[in-house]
Structure 1
Amino acid sequence: MASLFEIRDMLALHGKMEASALSAALHTPLSMMEAMLSRMEALGKARRVQEEPGGCLSGQCRQCPEGKACLREWWMLR
């Protein structure tokens, strides 16, 4: 399991990463990674950056029945 320091170092090395990429790189379950990233956000150490919906005008395309599955979310250091 990764520590907050390892997550910080990985974000510093790559600039911004998705939670799933961090999870795979640090061999940590995605749910745990999301919880740790949320904690870092609460501490003011990381911030969440969401992609603007550009290709899906209505938000209800065939690939994303939820309306938000096509939106990517990255994490980066503050």
Structure 2
Amino acid sequence: MMVRTRIREIIAEQAMLEPDQVTDDATPQDLGIDSLGLVDSIFAIEEEFDISIPFNANEPEKSEFDITNMGTIIAAVERLVAQNAA
């Protein structure tokens, strides 16, 4: 399964949406995901792909992990998964 597809499924589960509703330009807020939900999603993604995401929930603006929208989240996770596989 593609990383992108699985991330969409994880986020959709968190937001109680269908995976096809998780579009690249949707922000977590657009999907109704609050900060706690975002942290839960990040934990689920880390567990799924056995990666560590550099995200500080207390200071998200200082994180290296871009949570602007689903596209940036997916791209960042794909990079981490690729680095982990190397």
Q: Using structure 2 for the length normalisation, give the TM-score.
A: 0.37
- Larger Rg over CA atoms: 1
- More helix by percentage: 2
Comparing both structures, which one devotes a greater share of its residues to strand? Answer: 1
TM-score, normalisation: structure 1 = 0.39
User: Larger relative contact order (C-alpha < 8 A, sep ≥ 6)?
Assistant: 1
